[in-house]
């Protein structure tokens, strides 16, 4: 697929997807979500890529749904758009490789929800993050009802969604919505540094650990989760790379 709404690159075992509609602050249309799903499949199938970064081109991560694009939509067309959005969100949430959102500017609405779907979020201190849905008579998507609560707790989640106020990257760090907040000119270096630490590890372990996190978030009972933990550990220690990993670890301790 030739991309019009995103840019895909890879470097040193790290994939990079840039939302690429800077003239409209990376507002999202159905085509962007279709291209995103295609790029995710490329990353999934590429054994050389062990982690994925998602960011925005220009001065925004994404300002959410393209409202101009949605004005004349029929309800059925809107349903198709939302289904594309939700499918892409599911793929990111359940993506077997670690994902990092580098929030370089405005992250609003479904742009904010895209960042929530990632495993790790690193924001520019100056970024503005929030859900304006209540201001425009809409509601959140992308699993945000659960994802926000998991990060900041039910009370703070309600405050953020009910008030529809934006917060800075710095404030987002204080409440646990993002992992780190750094100056904008350091954002991509910081994000790639994090990605390098991740890709230095076993891709098989990362895959199983991520699956375990999803199970722990409510997709399975505690008993099923703990049974899975046994099988995941046994699967890891049975691999050929296990002995080499232990030798390498012992050498680093000396």
Catalytic residues: 113, 133
Orientation of helix 222-237 relative to helix 203-214, angle to 10° = 180
In the block, tokens 């990632």 appear at 118
- Closest by CA to 38, choosing from 62, 15, 13, is 15
C-beta separation of 206 from 97 below 8 A: yes
| Selection from 42, 56, 97, 22 nearest residue 188 by Cα | 56
Give the burial class of 204: count Cβ atoms within 10 A of its Cβ; 0-12 exposed, 13-18 middle, 19 or more buried.
middle
Residue ranges of alpha helices (H) inside 153-238 are 154-163, 169-175, 187-199, 203-214, 222-237
According to DSSP, the residues that pair with 16 across neighbouring strands are 9, 53
Q: What residues pair up with 192 in beta bridges, in sequence order?
A: none
Q: Positive or negative, the Cα torsion across 20, 22, 25, 30?
A: negative
Rounded Cα–Cα distance for residues 205 and 249 (Å) = 15
- Tell me if residue 135 falls in helix, strand or coil: helix
Tokens of residue 220, six digits: 């399975």
């Amino acid at each position: 697929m030739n991309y019009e709404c995103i840019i895909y690159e890879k470097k040193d075992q790290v994939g990079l997807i840039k939302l690429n509609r800077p003239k409209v602050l990376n507002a999202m249309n159905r085509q962007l979500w279709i291209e995103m799903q295609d790029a995710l499949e490329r990353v999934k199938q590429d054994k050389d890529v062990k982690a994925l970064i998602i960011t925005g081109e220009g001065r925004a991560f994404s300002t959410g749904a393209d409202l101009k694009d949605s004005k004349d939509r029929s309800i059925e067309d809107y349903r198709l758009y939302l289904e594309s959005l939700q499918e892409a969100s599911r793929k990111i949430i359940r993506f077997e490789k670690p994902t990092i959102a580098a929030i370089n500017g405005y992250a609003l609405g479904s742009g904010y929800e895209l960042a929530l779907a990632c495993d790790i979020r690193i924001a520019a201190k100056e970024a503005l993050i929030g859900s304006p849905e209540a201001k425009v008579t809409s509601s959140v998507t992308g699993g945000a009802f659960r994802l926000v609560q998991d990060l900041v707790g039910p009370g703070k989640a309600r405050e953020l969604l009910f008030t529809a106020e934006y917060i800075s990257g710095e404030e987002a760090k204080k409440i646990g919505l993002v992992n780190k907040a750094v100056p904008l000119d350091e954002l991509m270096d910081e994000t790639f540094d994090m990605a390098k630490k991740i890709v230095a590890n076993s891709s098989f372990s990362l895959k199983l650990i991520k699956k375990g996190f999803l199970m722990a978030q409510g997709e399975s009972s505690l008993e099923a989760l703990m049974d899975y933990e046994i099988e995941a550990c046994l699967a890891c220690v049975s691999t050929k790379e296990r002995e080499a990993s232990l030798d390498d670890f012992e050498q680093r301790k000396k």
